[in-house]
């Protein structure tokens, strides 16, 4: 969920880069040095990932340092999505652009049990998480919803079914004489009320 979304939990911090600690944790988990996995790279450009092949190569390089050998694969976009929805992927690069301004568009749409076979490409299904997200959708008080969504974000971070890499920043260049144009967080341009100064 992007940091500009209401209910985003600013207390959640990423783990610091520590390859030695990562090796140690993999060993504790029983993952052997030289383990091979597939890493799917999207064949399309997106604002949050303009070059998925390069990103996959960067991950492949970082993972090699901790004893994981990643084979990068890709498919035509329709095939990529079809196979992902069937759970055929190992690790994969995928993203989301929210389109309605509600936290559930991230936390429910992408990680709920009901979203498996839809947009939950991780195939992760957790009863505790689902209860938090369903409770947040059911209340109308924004403060209560925020608290529930923050709990869900913290739990998601603990369970690690996904690893967010980046959020896009969208810029909209305008001429100085354009008045009352506002960049939409949903990626749509609304020109009602826009004018050009003399």
87 and 121 part of one domain: no
CATH of the domain at 77: 3.40.50
**Mind listing the pLDDT tens digit for each residue in 6-51?**
999 999 999 899 999 999 999 999 999 999 999 999 999 988 899 9
Going by C-beta distance under 8 Å and a sequence separation of 6 or more, which residues neighbour residue 33?
67
Q: For residue 103, is it within any domain?
A: yes
Low-confidence ranges of the chain (pLDDT < 50): none
Q: CA-to-CA distance for 133 and 143, rounded, in angstroms?
A: 14
Q: Are 146 and 153 in contact (CB under 8 A)?
A: no
**pTM metric for this prediction:** 0.84
Pull the structure tokens for residue 174: 């305008």
Phi, psi of 158 (to 5 degrees): -65, -40
How confident is the model at residue 99, as a pLDDT?
A: 80
How confident is the model at residue 62, as a pLDDT?
A: 96
Could you please report the per-residue DSSP string of 145-168? HHHHHHHHHHHHHHH-S-------
* Parent domain of 78: 28-95
Please name the residue that has the structure tokens 């389109």: 99
Number of domains the chain is built from: 2
101 and 48 part of one domain: no
């Amino acid at each position: 969920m992007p940091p500009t979304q209401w209910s985003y939990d600013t207390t959640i911090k990423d783990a610091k880069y520590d390859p030695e600690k990562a090796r140690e944790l993999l060993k504790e988990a029983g993952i052997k040095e030289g383990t091979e996995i597939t890493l799917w790279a999207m064949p399309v450009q997106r604002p949050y990932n303009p070059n998925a092949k390069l990103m996959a190569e960067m991950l492949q390089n970082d993972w090699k340092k901790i004893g994981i050998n990643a084979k990068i694969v890709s498919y035509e976009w329709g095939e990529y999505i079809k196979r992902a929805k069937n759970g055929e992927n190992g690790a994969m690069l995928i993203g989301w652009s929210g389109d309605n301004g509600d936290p559930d568009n991230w936390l429910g749409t992408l990680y709920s049990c009901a979203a498996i076979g839809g947009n939950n490409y991780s195939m992760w299904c957790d009863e505790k998480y689902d209860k938090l997200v369903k409770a947040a959708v059911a209340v109308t008080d924004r403060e209560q919803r925020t608290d529930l969504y923050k709990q869900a974000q913290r739990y998601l971070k603990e369970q690690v079914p996904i690893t967010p890499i980046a959020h896009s920043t969208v810029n909209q260049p305008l001429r100085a004489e354009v008045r009352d144009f506002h960049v939409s967080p949903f990626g749509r341009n609304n020109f009602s009320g826009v004018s050009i100064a003399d």
